[in-house]
Chains A and B, each alone.
Chain A
Amino acid sequence: MKFGVLQFPGSCDEVDALGAARRVGDAELLWHGARDLKGADAIVVPGGFSYGDYLRAGAIARFSPAMESVIAFAGDGGIVLGICNGFQVLCEAHLLPGALLGNANRRFTFRQVELDVVNRDTIFTRACTAGERLSVPAKHSWGRYYAAEDTLAAIERSGQVVLRYAAGENFNGSLNDIAGVCNEAGNVFGLMPHPEHAVDELTGSTDGLRIFESIRLSVEGVRV
């Protein structure tokens, strides 16, 4: 299978995402100014500070030509993963419910966090075991997940909450300890922690590979 990793001016973790994706499949970078997704089976919107995060995190990137194609791709059921800034971009693009607000501790925080997989019946978590806990680093200033009350109730009801911060790990103050959510159709997923930075034992954890491996299984399962 092939991943396409978007690259905006100000992206920082796109090469890391590319490397993580290449552990399970082919992957290439997709320039923000081009509409061609080059036949990718899954799109990763990476972390960083797209367009300097000026105006509001993700607010400018969502209007890029590449994102126009990603929005259409997602509408056709294409698999889209947004990490950190990518999660913010997907929320700004209304591909995912809710929004990311400033951290409750009011500052950029880098911390290895424990995540509970609360729905493993998704495209992005099917390689996880029941009740699995993932150790993945988080690093952001604007990661406090927020959604209006009725939206929150709806995504909880429909199983769109995929990952939660384990007890005591929710430093950013996300509602319901939400660390990652998918859309109603289940083909678009965003999370604030960085699975692409937990793919090698030398960095302390390989748990992030579960997410990429799940996507590969989903893509190849569809094809077979």
Chain B
Amino acid sequence: MSDTPGAVVAPSAEDALALGLSRAEYELVCEKQGRAPNRVELAMYSLMWSEHCAYKHSKKLLRTLPTEGPHVVMGPGENAGAVDVGDGLACAFKVESHNHPSAVEPFQGAATGVGGILRDIFAIGARPIAVLDSLRFGEPSSARTRYLLDGAVSGIAHYGNSIGVPTVGGEVYFEGPYEQNCLVNAMALGLAPRERLMRSAAAGPGNVLVLFGASTGRDGIGGASVLASAELGQPDADAEAGADRRPTVQVGDPFEEKKLLECSLELLQQGLLVSLQDLGAAGLTSSASEMASKGAVGIDIDVAEVPLREPGMEPFEVMVSESQERMLCVVEPANVEAVMRLCRKWEVSGAAIGEVTDSRRMRVLVAGELVGDMPVSALVDDCPLYDLQPAEPTGQLYPTPPPVLRADATPREMLLCLLSCPNLASRRPLFERYDAIVQSRTVRRPEQADAAVLAIHPLGSGPPAGAGPTGARAAAGTASAAGAADPVPAIAVSIDGNGRRVAADPYRGTIAAVLECASNLACVGAEPLATTNNLNFGNPEKPHIAWQLSESVRGLGDACRALHAPIVGGNVSLYNEGASGPIYPTPVIGMVGRLPDARRAGRLGFANDGETIALVGPFAPALQAGELAKLRGEPLVGKLAEIDLKAVRDAQLAVRDAVRAGGLSSAHDIAEGGLAVALAECCLAGNVGAEVEIGPSFWQKSPSEQRSPSGAPARPSVEPVAPGVVALFGEGPGGFVVSGSPQALRELGLRTLVRPLGTVGGDVLRIATDGPQEAVEATLAELTEAHGALWELFA
């Protein structure tokens, strides 16, 4: 047995347990090392073998997902995935979670979540062009929820706004099971010339390892293992929950990251780097060992060369610090001085801290003295992977929400209650805190369309075609980035994930989330290119959580295969449980699409008086697990209805093509709250009323109604609803509300089911049904007031 380098007192197995390793894992580490690991090594193993870094409970499932397709340029395994978006450009994108840090300290947790995902994007050489966020909190009636919400939104705004990347979309849901364990997922997109995408594999023994960006401090030590890979435990019911873990949360500095971003992109542009990697969870340990693993080389790091924020840091602290705004690159010796010069230009510190070796070992030194020595493969690849032990739960997993609506509420009361409920009310009070337009690409902002639309080339990038720079007229209404006849290629992006539906039915609920993303893209005229996902679940060592996770991943794979939208990257966040139980299983889906001409990007609001409104697609409404059911206080039991993936996809393609052809004035996906809420949203976005009748034709062609005339199946123990309520407020995939000319709707009807409903106009939304109840009628002013319910949270 070799000597243990740097050992004063070797840590024990109990120390390993305290760092989150199991006894068997510790014994495996000893076997891989051929001896007991010293303190530096144990710290590094405990992080690299954590759930967060090793995906040890999810890797086997993730291998079942589709990852290949004609548009894919870079699949899972790199810092972010990338697809070809035309014009020689690749779009890199990824979603990541920062749930536990945000539950402990929402402002910095959310801010550094944004910072981390942005670094993933520019680490592969892409300039970040957009951020989206997906948030989950408890009910806003709770003071803790309001504290977390305000902190997280402020943190996202602080980081995104300051770094000059627009926040173009997102979603937020409020549900009791997220009360103690909120979710903060952030997605980022970037663009790069295809051939300039950068990989992270280290190469070339003798090449120099340069760390640049912020200095290294004691912040975030143990973040990946202690914080991200364990349950949150017994929190107090107030803002002080998790206070003892606050030191493990990192602190972000968007100004430092802005300089780091510009510096990194200029280093790549000048061709000075062999490879590049950001520092995220597990800091230098993870970045360096993964670079070495991918390149099948070794790396030596001398921690004495690392610029430190405070004196007296132990070698293991330097290796595991999660200080933000740092990048690690491999540089040929001849280029080191040029790299340092650019670092000075951008006022970021740069230091040569080590070198690439051919040893395939990760070695840590202090001023030349060896203090840690591990096989790279043991650190990165040899963490044991675990099989899940899934078992479908027999009882009700989640508490029944308290009723908000009276059992005898009228449909009008239901509509106004739905529009004002936290999950459906206007998100304007939140998204107004984000800059959505910097970089001059944003063609559709939040609440203008179902998906954000971003021009591939900045809209301010030149004079109108044919006009010389000094002679250019700039008359209003004629100026566009290209000549009037040239299409403006664009990408569209959406992020979605309804945890309540997944809780009711993990397989179909996940399919519904993927379909909703694709439907959102269809409404702006975009075809899906690829998908990213963040799987937010509870403790996978519990059989019912394992079942949720495996069923959800099965649904994710089936849906992405059906849509030809493979998964190019993602993240898994497990152990999202508090003392009161697990969160709703929440796969968050991000989807990127392409549209040929942003000038025809769809809008969600009704536009022109007198145009025909139609319901499009194989929409089969059901109340099961829907928003109305929640407001009525119904328990979450029973499966969702079967989904005809092909019929939904056909409808999406038909709507997409109609939007591209310019025939539709508006297109909106029917989501939470069903048809009536979708109609109200179209009225609100267009500031115009509508006259609609849900007549016999609707009933004849609504499959779920035919199957079950008295309402959805499996809806237990609650007052039966009036006929028509299901049609008004039932939810399900595959439905769209569109408006346009009769001619455009006739053409659409050749490709998918089109049911004319009424006409745009006036300042009242009136929905008549042929059932016994009176028509639903509300003025625009009443709809607006109900929809503005969240403003009071930010008063």
Contacts and interface: CB of A to CB of B under 8 A. Distances in A.
A66 B58 CA distance: 53
Contact of B488 (A10, A16, A137, A202): A202
Given A25-B469, A209-B474, A52 B460 contact: no
Nearest to A19: B460
Given A19-B459, A25-B470, A202-B443, 13 more contacts: A9-B255, A12-B258, A16-B439, A22-B461, A22-B462, A22-B463, A23-B462, A107-B433, A108-B435, A197-B437, A201-B477, A202-B481, A202-B599
B118 to A, nearest CB: 13
A194 B161 CA distance: 14
A15 B254 CA distance: 19
Given A49-B255, A212-B474, A18 B347 contact: no
Nearest to B462: A22
Contacts of A48: 164
Contacts of A197: 437-438, 440
Contacts of B255: 9-10, 49, 51-54
Contacts of A139: 161, 435, 437-438
A9 B346 contact: yes
B474 A23 contact: yes
A178 interface: no
B500 to A, nearest CB: 30
B433 A201 contact: no
Main secondary structure of the interface of A (DSSP, over half): mixed
B464 A209 contact: no
B259 interface: yes
A202 B438 CA distance: 14
B598 A15 contact: no
Interface of B: 154, 157-158, 161-164, 253-256, 258-259, 346-347, 431-440, 442-443, 455, 458-464, 469-470, 472, 474, 476-481, 488, 598-599, 794
Interface in A85-112: 107-111
B488 to A, nearest CB: 7
Interface in A7-60: 9-13, 15-16, 18-20, 22-26, 48-49, 51-54
A144 B478 CA distance: 33
A202 B455 contact: yes
A158 to B, nearest CB: 29
Interface in A69-86: none
A20 to B, nearest CB: 5
A149 B259 CA distance: 40
B460 A201 contact: no
Query: Which of A200, A202, A206 has most chain B Cβ within 10 Å?
Result: A202
Nearest to A212: B474
Interchain residue pairs A-B with the least CB separation, the first 8? A19-B460, A52-B255, A12-B164, A200-B459, A209-B474, A206-B476, A16-B440, A49-B162
Contacts of A177: none
A1 B480 CA distance: 21
23 contacts: A9-B259, A10-B259, A12-B258, A13-B438, A15-B460, A16-B440, A22-B460, A23-B463, A23-B479, A24-B463, A25-B469, A49-B258, A52-B256, A108-B158, A110-B433, A194-B437, A196-B440, A199-B459, A199-B479, A200-B460, A202-B480, A202-B481, A202-B598
A9 B440 contact: no
Contacts of A12: 162-164, 258, 435, 438
Interface in A188-224: 194, 196-197, 199-203, 206-207, 209-210, 212-213, 220
Contact of B462 (A19, A52, A110, A201): A19
Q: Which of B258, B435, B436, B458 has the most CB of A within 10 A?
A: B435
Interface string A118-153: 000000000000000000010100000000000000
B762 to A, nearest CB: 24
A196 B433 contact: no
A57 to B, nearest CB: 11
A212 B479 CA distance: 13
A111 B164 CA distance: 16
Given A12-B163, A202-B488, A109 B439 contact: no
Contacts of A16: 438-440, 458, 460
Nearest to A20: B460
Contacts of A202: 443, 455, 459, 480-481, 488, 598-599
A174 B428 CA distance: 22
Contacts of B479: 23, 199-201, 206, 209
Contacts of A26: 469-470
Contacts of A54: 255
Contacts of B472: 23-25
B326 to A, nearest CB: 17
Contacts of A110: 431-437
B701 to A, nearest CB: 38
Contacts of B438: 12-13, 16, 139, 197
Contact of B460 (A9, A199, A210): A199
A169 to B, nearest CB: 14
Interface-central residue, B464, B469, B476, B480, by most chain A CB under 10 Å: B476
A220 B473 CA distance: 13
Contacts of A23: 460, 462-464, 472, 474, 479
B167 to A, nearest CB: 9
Of A18, A54, A110, chain B has the most CB atoms within 10 Å of the CB of A110
A49 B161 CA distance: 9
Given A23-B460, A202-B455, A209-B476, A13 B164 contact: yes
| Residue among A51, A108, A111, A199 with the highest chain B CB neighbour number at 10 A | A108
Contacts of A11: 164
Contacts of B158: 108
B599 to A, nearest CB: 7
A213 B161 CA distance: 28
B161 A108 contact: yes
Contacts of B256: 52
A22 B469 contact: yes
Contacts of B474: 23-24, 199, 206, 209, 212-213
Contacts of B462: 19, 22-23
Nearest to B347: A9
A15 B458 contact: yes
Contacts of A137: 437
Nearest to A127: B474
Contacts of A19: 440, 458-462
Contacts of B434: 108, 110
Given A19-B440, A23-B479, A52-B254, A109 B488 contact: no
B601 to A, nearest CB: 8
A48 B480 CA distance: 24
B255 to A, nearest CB: 3
